[in-house]
Amino acid sequence: MPLYDFRCSAGHGTEASFAMADRPDHVACPVCGETSRRRIPSPRLSIAGSSAFGLLESTQRSAHEPEVVASTNPGKRSPTPTTSNPLHRKLPRP
Ligand SMILES: [Zn+2]
């Protein structure tokens, strides 16, 4: 069941879980007893602009718009060979 957030006019927040068909618009505040209204949740506005949000967005976008790259390891070209064994130079090259 989804968790709903309620807040009374005094600013006390409370959370309660209800079935979606039975969710009330108001509950009694557990602190002061006043009527607490159900709040509309924000759509991830707290993490918008952060690196975590960028990672989530690029991951979702890559599902249908994969990035086109020129090489498998861009920007990490090392001028030195990866092996110093002279016998490896005799191996066939692609
Ligand atoms: Zn209250």
Do the domain assignments include residue 91? no
Q: Residue 46: pLDDT above 90?
A: no
Token pair for 48:
């918008």
Quick: pLDDT tens for 55-88. 888 888 888 888 887 777 766 666 666 788 889 8
Residue 5, domain extent: 1-60
Q: CA–CA separation, 12 vs 25, rounded Å?
A: 16
CA-wise closest residue to 37 among 56, 23, 20: 23
Do the domain assignments include residue 44? yes
Between 74 and 31, name the one with better pLDDT. 31
Per the structure, the count of domains in the chain is 1
46 CA distance to ligand 1 middle (Å): 24
CATH number for the domain spanning 44: value is: 2.20.28.270
22 CA distance to ligand 1 middle (Å): 22
Q: State the burial class of residue 2 (Cβ atoms within 10 Å of its Cβ: 0-12, 13-18, 19+).
A: exposed
Do the domain assignments include residue 38? yes
Name 25's Cβ contacts closer than 8 Å, sequence gap at least 6.
37, 38
49 CA distance to ligand 1 middle (Å): 33
For the chain, helix, strand, coil in percent to 5 are 25, 20, 55
Do the domain assignments include residue 49? yes
